[in-house]
Amino acid sequence: MVIEHIFITTLEAPEALQRAAQFLNSRGFQATPQAAFAMGGQAWSVLEMTRGKKNPSRAKSVVELPQQIRMEWDRGRVTVAASSTSLQESRSTTIGKKSGARMARNQQTVLTGLVMSLQELLEAQREFDTVAATNAALEGQLHAADRSRRRRNMIILLTIFGAFIALITYLTVSSMSR
């Protein structure tokens, strides 16, 4: 899933990129090595950061999915592209369409929250701590919902397994008593 958003900031490139990098770093992102180089003494105007597990199947929450953010500053115009890869996107299957739709909705919520937080930080120039706390609360809610869903699914699985063992035990005891 990819989300792209454009907004205007009055901050210069170094300050805007530094504030964005600081915010994203506090949210678990790490800078990716830049493949390009500056020409003609121009300042850097692009920031790329990633977070999450390398393999989507290892993510226990939508927040742990592989995510990438690319931010470009051009004379005050900031273009932010955020992407996330889920297990359903890395496989082509029709199983679990309902959970796939929920995963896509949650991915969209996480990415939109990050992009809107960057806009608040750079365009509206809100306080770093306030923006980070709002974003952390959103991601915490999604993480808690995923943890609750995993717990519920484990209880259902253990209940089915226990019922199966009880049925086998009952059939074994009843066949011995005949």
**52: containing domain:** 2-176
Residue 157 has pLDDT above 80, yes or no: yes
At residue 87, the pLDDT reads 64
Residues 79-108: pLDDT tens digits? Answer: 999 998 876 655 544 445 556 777 888 888
Give CA–CA dist 39/44, Å, rounded: 10
Res 31 pLDDT > 70: yes
How far apart, in whole angstroms, are the C-alpha atoms of residue 106 and residue 60?
Answer: 13
Number of domains in the chain: 1
Which contacts qualify for 128-136: CB closer than 8 Å, 24 or more apart?
A: 128/19, 128/22, 128/23, 131/23, 132/23, 132/26, 132/27, 135/27, 136/27
100-127: per-residue pLDDT in tens?
777 888 888 889 999 999 999 999 889 8
At 112, the amino acid letter reads T
pLDDT in tens, 42-92: 567 899 999 988 888 888 888 888 999 999 988 889 999 999 887 665 554
Query: How much is the pLDDT for 52?
Result: 87
CATH number, domain at 158? Answer: 2.20.25.670
User: How far lies 168's CA from each of 155, 175, 178, in Å?
Assistant: 20, 11, 16
Instruction: Decide if 94 contacts 61 (C-beta within 8 A).
Output: no
